[in-house]
Amino acid sequence: MRYLVLLFVSSFISTIAGQTGILSGSVVEGDQPLGFANIYLVNSDLGAFTDTSGFFEIRNVPKGPFTLEISLLGYEKKIVQGRLTEEEPSQSFKINLDPAISSLSEVVVSGTKRPVKRVDSPIPVEVYSLQYFRANPSPSIFESVQNVNGVRPQINCNVCNTGDIHINGLEGPYTMVLIDGMPIVSGLSTVYGLNGIPQALIDRVEVVKGPASTLYGSEAVAGLINIITKDPAGVASVSVDFMSTSYGELNTDVGLRLRTGQHRSLVGINYFKYGNPVDRNQDGFTDVTLSDRISIFNKWSFLRKNDRTFTLAGRYLYEDRWGGQMEWTKSNRGGDEVYGESIYTNRWEMLGNYQLPLKETFNLEFSANGHRQNSVYGTTNFQARQNVLFSQLTWLKEFGGSSDLLTGLAYRYTYYDDNTPATSGESDDRNNPSKIHLPGLFTQFENTFSARFKTLVGLRYDYNSLHGHILSPRVNLKWNNLDKDLVLRLGGGNGYRVANIFTEDHAALTGARKVVFQGQLKPEKSWNGNFNLVKKFYTNDQRYFGLDFSIFYTYFSNRIIPDYESDPNLIFYKNLEGHAVSQGTSLNFDFSFPSGIQGRIGATLQDVSISEEGEKFRQLLTERFSGVWSISYLIPGAEISFDYSGNVYSPMRLPLLGPLDDRAEFSPWFSIQNLQLKRKYRLFEIYGGVKNFLNFTPPANSIARSFDPFDKNVLFNREGQVIPTPDNPNALTFDPTYVYAPNQGIRFFLGFRYELNP
């Protein structure tokens, strides 16, 4: 009997063994073995880790098709597919991983307007993946960029929470924001257009610091932020990301992949809801603007003959937001009993890229957008409409693989109209919308002299229908060693900006004021020089360190500044008779260890000043030092990770209302820090943590005279100046512009992500 049992067990084991196989192999980077890499058999509970020699083995793998997912912190994830059969019950692989955090293999497009490996680009481009931003999950890209070194989202109003993005200390109007290389967010939309971009569709964000006007034209003076959306062919069929905070914020991102024959489509939907008025500083006003926002994005990729593609995308955004006194309701909209700022935004966007079916590389890019804004600021009603049309044809000609010429024709049309004197004619019953035609021609020549040395020379010519001819040149040099772990870049160029003063300062324009131009306004110009050094270090025990160091200098002339103080009934616009300077240094430090720790730490030291009539002033709301960090730790084998992120800022000069204003002239040092814990399962991920755990908020008196928002108890003299009284000894008026940091304290968050990849 015992022999029969042994025979049965032996036959059973042989049968099972005959139905399974073995997968083995090694994971390397070049010739170096990689230990502790995670090998996962998709749709199963099987997996393994590599040993110190890079070897792995997975037994009892079912016969049939299989998919292996290989991942290691600091490296790009790789997928290997195959099939085990009766004839081939085991397979062995040698899997080479590419470094991820070192960005040696990343392809960037923002610096030269064509795909090139980041290490080969003569223009320094910083790249931030969606995973980097997920270390501190946020409902919009506006908040996400707070962890990018040298980039700071600035809140400009304590009530409506409008904001812009500063690069190296320069204000938002000098920063161009693009989606897939198209100038989508500009003019009127700089105030609200950065919200509602669904993160489910973001592949990466590229940041170029310094003038990029040679390729992108006006507004790219401080630099640009290019949001690159995902390729519809390479995304999950379904993805969901839902997050809620203890403040009552709800954010949902949904991504869907569709397919019709060879054509693929990506749909991204973002819905954000915050309807819980909070007044923790007890000033009678909402601490955070309430919002009900939906954004829908759809991108199509049409595959044509010869692997040429045609992409077309569109986005629609609607937002209803308000901030103000806690008792405000929509019945108070536009009245003078309860103060509120209510903004209805309707916005649509379309963009596309078509590669012409010619032997040479011709690309036709186009975009269009429409923005409608219905706003009230207390009793001031602001109705605005803006349309922007853009088209660009580029030709890329390569010469023997060592040099190439990129030439392009561009045209941009901007239409703007509102209900203020800014767009009125000579009489009150006549309307005179702003219409700007901007045709342009640009060319750049890139030459690779050797494996170590490369140059780029570019020139752009634009004709502005209001300001005439504008030239923008640039020169860039790049040197690297043969291993490409040391890269030096030197660049210089000219930037320009034609200010759309109406869209940038619309809140200041009221029906009682008239706009006066002191002389013919000239385009703002800047000259920029920068030096960049990138050094990568690799150790024998799989540790990686990276340094990215830059020195920048920008000199501005013809800067346009508004004067609201000389006459209470007029607004004067004029070019600065002096100059402005932005200069400083920045350093990024990256690291990755086999133990599961990786991170990025950055710091920027800068001096931004304005000089006129022999006097030099620090620019308002500009810090001299800023630091950011994002550090992650993944527990090997546990799929549990920790994220610690934050920023720190030195004092900024703040806008005061006059010599009697008793509020501090400078902000204090402050830091906003965040913690997150994530647990990843096969198809979904749960995350949670705490934001701003130091609970920093600006002082309660940030809104001047919040108890009298309509200035009913403020006395003015004949010149429009405030008269000090016993009830108003500091001669203040209602003012919400004294703001330098978000007014949102400590809060907890919890989220859920799900991805389906059939």
SS3 letters across 521-553: CCCEEEEEEEEEEEEEEECCCCCEEEEEEEEEE
Q: Match domain 19-96 to its CATH number in 3.30.360.10, 3.90.1150.10, 2.30.42.10, 2.60.40.4130.
A: 2.60.40.4130
Distance CA 698, CA 719 (A): 33
Whole-Å CA distances, 586 to 209, 325, 526, 589? 11, 41, 20, 10
- In one-letter notation, the amino acid at residue 447 is N
The answer to whether 739 and 158 have CB atoms below 8 angstroms apart is yes
Of 125-129, 262-266, 375-379, 540-544, the poorest mean pLDDT is in: 540-544
Distance CA 503, CA 416 (A): 8
Residue range 288-315: mean pLDDT, rounded: 85
Distance CA 48, CA 55 (A): 10
pLDDT above 70 for 3: no
Whole-Å CA distances, 740 to 292, 450, 673? 24, 48, 16
**Looking at the chain, which residues constitute the CATH 2.40.170.20 domain(s)?**
121-146+210-703+738-756
Beta-ladder partners of 750: 244, 688
| DSSP classification of residue 437 | E
Distance CA 650, CA 741 (A): 12
pLDDT above 70 for 73: no
Q: Which pLDDT score, from 0 to 100, does residue 370 have?
A: 92
Q: By CB neighbour count within 10 A (0-12 exposed, 13-18 middle, 19+ buried), where does 758 fall?
A: exposed
Instruction: Note the Cα 93 to chain centre separation in Å.
Output: 39
Count of alpha carbons within 13 angstroms of residue 563, beta-carbon side: 12
* Distant-in-sequence, close-in-space partners of 333: CB < 8 Å, separation ≥ 6: 340, 342, 376
Residue range 577-606: mean pLDDT, rounded: 92
Q: What is the largest CA-CA distance in the chain?
A: 116
Distance CA 545, CA 599 (A): 10
Return the structure tokens found at 3: 């022999």
Distance CA 685, CA 130 (A): 15
Whole-Å CA distances, 267 to 75, 198, 255, 259, 312? 28, 10, 6, 11, 12
pLDDT above 80 for 506: no
Whole-Å CA distances, 109 to 36, 148, 588, 677? 33, 19, 21, 33
pLDDT above 70 for 744: yes
pLDDT above 90 for 692: yes
Beta-ladder partners of 423: none
pLDDT above 90 for 561: no
End-to-end CA distance of the chain: 49
The answer to whether 74 and 592 have CB atoms below 8 angstroms apart is yes
Residue pLDDT, tens place only, 228-282: 888 887 778 899 999 999 999 999 999 998 888 778 899 999 999 999 999 999 9
Q: Which pLDDT score, from 0 to 100, does residue 64 have?
A: 87
Whole-Å CA distances, 645 to 310, 552, 598, 627, 749? 39, 26, 12, 11, 15
**Looking at the chain, which residues constitute the CATH 2.60.40.4130 domain(s)?**
19-96
The answer to whether 554 and 539 have CB atoms below 8 angstroms apart is no
Distance CA 593, CA 634 (A): 10
Distance CA 433, CA 621 (A): 32
Predicted confidence band of residue 507 (pLDDT cuts 50, 70, 90): very low
Distance CA 623, CA 629 (A): 17
> Tokens 């919002």 correspond to what residue?
291
Q: Which pLDDT score, from 0 to 100, does residue 717 have?
A: 87
Residue pLDDT, tens place only, 130-154: 888 999 999 888 888 889 999 998 8
Distance CA 258, CA 302 (A): 12
Q: Which pLDDT score, from 0 to 100, does residue 439 have?
A: 95
Within 10 angstroms of residue 612's Cβ, the number of other Cβ atoms is: 14
Higher per-residue confidence, 220 vs 630? 630
Region 121-146+210-703+738-756: CATH code:
2.40.170.20
pLDDT above 90 for 185: no
Length, in residues, of the chain:
758
The answer to whether 318 and 294 have CB atoms below 8 angstroms apart is yes
pLDDT above 50 for 11: no
Residue pLDDT, tens place only, 367-407: 999 999 899 989 988 888 989 999 999 999 988 878 999 99
Count of alpha carbons within 13 angstroms of residue 74, beta-carbon side: 25
SS3 706: coil
Whole-Å CA distances, 730 to 434, 540, 590, 727, 739? 40, 66, 49, 9, 19
Q: Which pLDDT score, from 0 to 100, does residue 535 have?
A: 95
pLDDT above 70 for 494: yes
3-class secondary structure per residue, 438-476: EEEEEEEEEEECCCCEEEEEEEEEEEECCCEEEEEEEEE
Integer-rounded Cα Rg, in Å, for the chain is 29
Q: By CB neighbour count within 10 A (0-12 exposed, 13-18 middle, 19+ buried), where does 328 fall?
A: buried
Residue pLDDT, tens place only, 18-66: 578 899 999 987 767 887 677 888 877 788 878 778 899 998 898 888 8
Predicted confidence band of residue 514 (pLDDT cuts 50, 70, 90): low
**If you average pLDDT over every residue of the chain, what do you get?**
84
Higher per-residue confidence, 494 vs 217? 494
- Greatest mean pLDDT range, 253-262, 272-281, 458-467, 728-737: 272-281
The answer to whether 721 and 659 have CB atoms below 8 angstroms apart is no
pLDDT above 60 for 174: yes
Q: Which pLDDT score, from 0 to 100, does residue 505 have?
A: 52
Predicted confidence band of residue 669 (pLDDT cuts 50, 70, 90): very high
Q: Which pLDDT score, from 0 to 100, does residue 9 have?
A: 42
Q: Which pLDDT score, from 0 to 100, does residue 566 have?
A: 56
Distance CA 353, CA 301 (A): 10
**pTM exceeds cut of 0.95:** no
